[in-house]
Structure 1
Amino acid sequence: MAPSSPDFDRVIDRRGTWSSKWDKYAGRDILPFWVADMDFAMPEFIREAVLRRLEHPVVGYTRTPDTLAEAFRTWLLRHYDWQVPDSALVWLPGVVTGFNLAARATAVPGGQVVIPTPVYYPFLSVPGNADQTGIQVPLVRDGRRWVMDFDALEAAITPASRIVLLSNPQNPTGRAYTEPELTALAELCLRHDLVLCSDEIHCRLLLDPNAEHVPVASLGPEIAARTISLYAATKTYNIPGLSCGVAVIPDPELRRRFKHAQAGLMPSVGPLEFAASEAAFNDTGPWLPALLDYLRGNHRLLQAVAGDRMTPVEATYLAWLDVRDLELERPGAYFEEHGLGLSDGAAFGGDGFVRFNFACPRSTLEEGLERLQQALDSA
């Protein structure tokens, strides 16, 4: 029997499930469009994979399944023509753990962590967590997209700089960096003897048909030798509560330092998480193409209301809205007053902006867009 088509229009009540996204505004008439999880059911094939594992009555400590590693390596080869050995993989409870470990693995007394901003807000706590200094280098808007300012990056780097943290596809601006952009960044890292940690968790969420994801470490052996690439299936398949990630670290010495940084700190990944991720990396079916089509439709609706405040989203399901002209002291709080739970840009290093997660049923989005229009008109 053929699987039924996913119903992304289905409104699922997440209240009462200890949902971080929805419980934040419990008892208040505020629709949550903030944290980056989707209001869609997980794919049925992932649910079935978890249930199959639960047919065994013991859920104990679990080694990384060989079948998961093979599924991931095949996934990299299938989508990016990038072949990596099993020895290059370090499995993790999530990518946030990964980029924190990367900074600790490269830390030196007085060291610096270079971060293009705005960026996913946990990046900004990484330098302090590793007893390093953070150097933020703002992206610049170039017409209808945000780009890295390579002159500013070059100027910001000092002999104390040890690592660059990259979000690609970029959260929160929705960029999918091009191969020339990534090549320029790789050359900068090579020139200054920097490690590059690239969080690529949104890589399969490409909305622009002309965009592509390029793993920066796939550009050549020189940059691969100084890159820590982070992946997970959790964003694409909406399973962040079954968190499992993987670091691809081709260089043995860098990998040794990374593993040393995690010693005694990192919990093991559980068997249900492994089962869910393996099913996701093996997926070649219709669920993801259907999701992307639905997200493109949501993106068009949001773009129609936001207009030039929003650059087109090439990848992710996150829009970065410019509300600087409204001169709001606290943009996030202002939109909450109008029934919208958005992420305040200040947390990402982008004052005067808000981030809007549009991965939800269309009826929910339409109600949110009515509130957004009213909020913009009232400012």
Structure 2
Amino acid sequence: MDLNSVYQRLNTGSKKWSQYPEDVLPMWVADMDFPVAEPIVMALRNRLEHPLLGYCVAQDSLRQTLVDHLARHYDWVIEPEDLVFLPGVEPGVNMALNTLVPAGGGVLVQTPNYSPLLHAPAHWKLPRVDLPFRADANGEYPTDLEALQRGLARSRALLLSNPHNPLGKVFEPEELRAIGEACVQQDVLIVSDEIHADILFDGRRHTPIASLSAEIAERTITLMSASKAWNIAGLKTAFAVVQNAALRERFNNGRLGLVDSVNALGLEATEAAYRLGADWLAQVNAYLQDNRDYLAQALQTRFPGIRMNLPQSTYLAWLDCSALDIEHPQQFFLEHARVALSDGLEFGAECGQFVRLNFGCPRSMLEEALARMERSLQRR
């Protein structure tokens, strides 16, 4: 598979490439510029041989494929009936908050955080309780467990981003266990967004928080999808793992006419990804790690005013531009470099000096984006 080819995505309805004028290089939304794995394409073609595309349900083969994937990759044993299929992780987050958190119950969110998670509590008039990450001397972002306990005392739910977006943090099992046990002790629901679980660097391994103990699993809604790792976000398919049957029933009741069934092609693509997409994913992960390392080297040698802690997961780099002394870095690079990055303010009110850069693209696109940014700073 050739990951270096640049595919023309203008006029395809791509959100990433439609948001800005054609002369802007889009490096913002979490959407990779790589072609979909051939097994997924073949599965879609085969499905389209049948002329009907009515309402669909997940078949037993898809459920078993996911059960096998979770056991093989995470040592997480679940049952097929634990799976709930959804048109996205974000709808699952909002279903959980609206249905399972009592009125006025606080929702603890580690900040900075992915904008839809950050703003979800307000949709349901639930107070958000922020738990800020602070980088330690090693550039890591450990959870402040004492602050966690204080935050949980004011909360009825924890929104967890695991792996973390935008920090690219992979939580170690010991840290997750401490978080999970604190939630058990304080009777707090865990809603865990694990959409980036299959994008990992440097030999790391993802740990679903619900896999750590039966007690943690009993209060956890885990949300996953093939959309990020296999680049099929437009097919709008995700799934929740809810091992507590009573909690699963209450969660499903939260559809409320808003969260409908999953489309037929998304279900086919998801099964093909998890069943047949391992080789493609391994190649993409290796390419992403090389892109990450190229980006890190370029920032170190060519951008003394920008700092980045090396992402351990995702294809998203969290760039600290505070040393550039630019009031609004995202706007500066958009106007002067014609490069569209995600604005740090989307991830937290204290993040105005940060931008998020998507390096899930052919190397030539990453090189061009950095060259444009470098020239814009030289002209300043």
Please classify the TM superposition score into its range, dividing by the shorter chain length: over 0.9
8 A Cα contact 2:66 2:274, kept in partner: yes
- Distance (whole Å) between structure 2 residues aligned to residue 107 and residue 169 of structure 1: 23
- What is residue 123 of structure 1 aligned with on the other side? 117
Could you report, residue by residue, the CA deviation over 1:277-307 in whole angstroms, capped at 9, with x for unpaired residues?
Answer: 0101102642111111111111111101223
Residue in 2 that maps onto 1:255: 248
Question: Do the aligned residues in 1 keep the contact of 2:317 with 2:357 (CA within 8 Å)?
Answer: yes
Q: What residue identity is the alignment partner of 1:13? A: Q
2:375 aligned partner: 374
Closer, same or farther: CA 284–50 of 1 in aligned 2, 3 Å? closer
Q: 1:24 aligns with which of 2, 19, 23?
A: 19
Equivalent residues in 2 for 1:224-243, closer than 5 Å: 224-243=217-236
2:303 equivalent in structure 1: none
Distance 1:375 1:158 in 2: 47
Q: Which amino acid aligns with 2:105?
A: G
SS class of match (2:191): strand
1:190 Cα offset (Å):
1.2
Deviation for aligned residue 1:168: 0.7
Q: 1:126/1:359 Cα in 2 relative to 1: closer, same or farther (>3 Å)?
A: same
What is the aligned partner in structure 2 of residue 359 from structure 1? 360
Contact 2:157 2:190 in 1 (8 A): yes
1:184, CA displacement in angstroms? 1.2
1:332 aligns with 2:330: yes
Q: Is 1:301 the equivalent of 2:302?
A: no
TM-score computed with the length of structure 2 as normaliser? 0.94
- Confirm whether residue 175 of structure 1 aligns to residue 169 of structure 2: yes
Which deviations, in whole Å up to 9, do the C-alpha atoms of 1:166-222 show, x marking residues without a partner? 11111111111101110111121112110111111111100122x210011000100
CA contact (8 A) 1:305 1:373 kept: no
Contact 2:133/2:144, CA 8 A, preserved across alignment = yes
Work out whether 1:195 is the aligned partner of 2:189.
Answer: yes
Residue 342 of structure 1: aligned partner: 341
Distance in 1, Cα, partners of 2:131 & 2:323: 22
Contact 2:87–2:260, Cα closer than 8 Å, also in 1? yes
318, 321, 329: which is aligned to 1:320? Answer: 318
The one-letter code of the counterpart of 1:293 is: A
Q: Is the 8 A contact 2:152 2:188 kept in 1?
A: no
* CA displacement at 1:376 relative to structure 2: 4.5
Quote the offset at 1:157 in angstroms.
Answer: 2.9
Cα RMSD between the aligned structures?
1.4
Give 1:65 shift: 1.2
Q: Secondary structure at the match of 2:135?
A: strand
In the TM superposition, what whole-angstrom CA distance separates every residue of 1:247-286 from its partner, at most 9, and x where no partner exists? Answer: 0011122112211111321121111111000101102642
* Cα drift, residue 149 of structure 1: 2.0
SS at match of 2:12: coil
8 Å contact kept, 1:92–1:98: yes
Instruction: Pick the aligned partner of 2:46 from 43, 52, 56.
Output: 52
SS in 2 for 1:282: helix
- Uncovered stretches (5+) of structure 2, i.e. residues with no partner: 301-305
Q: 1:208 aligns with which of 166, 177, 202?
A: 202
Deviates more, 1:134-143 or 1:8-17: 134-143
Whole-Å separation in 1 of the counterparts to 2:81 and 2:153: 33
Cα shift at 1:378? 5.3
Task: Note if contact 2:83-2:239 (Cα within 8 Å) is conserved in structure 1.
Answer: yes
Secondary structure of the residue aligned to 1:122 is helix
Are residue 15 (structure 1) and residue 10 (structure 2) matched?
A: yes
Counterpart of 1:87, as a letter, is: E
Q: Distance in 2 between matches of 1:224 and 1:196?
A: 9
Deviation string for 1:230-250 (max 9, x for gaps)?
110010110011121110011
> Please, what TM-score do these two structures have when normalized by structure 1?
0.95
In structure 2, relative to structure 1, the CA distance for the partners of 1:355 and 1:74 (3 Å cut) is: same
How far 1:352 sits from its partner (Å)? 1.4
Distance 2:315 2:323 in 1: 24
The residue identity in structure 2 corresponding to 1:324 is S
Partner of 1:136, secondary structure, is: strand
Number of residues of Structure 1 aligned to a counterpart in Structure 2: 371
Q: Name 1:3's counterpart in structure 2.
A: none
Counterpart residue type for residue 250 of structure 2: R
Range moving further from structure 2, 47-56 or 62-71: 62-71
DSSP 3-state at the match of 1:116: strand
For residue 235 of structure 1, give the secondary structure of its aligned residue in structure 2: coil
Aligned equivalents of 1:295 and 1:284: distance in 2? 16
CA distance in 2, matches of 1:23, 1:319: 22
Matched letter for residue 101 of structure 1:
M
Q: Distance in 2 between matches of 1:145 and 1:305?
A: 21
Output the amino acid matched with 1:245.
A
Contact 1:306 1:321 in 2 (8 A): no
Distance 1:166 1:93 in 2: 20
Provide Cα deviations, 1:88-115, integer angstroms capped at 9, x if missing partner. 1111001011111111122212111110
1:55-204 residue pairs with structure 2 within 5 A?
55-142=49-136, 143-159=138-154, 161-204=155-198
- One-letter code of the match for 2:159? L
Distance 2:163 2:139 in 1: 16
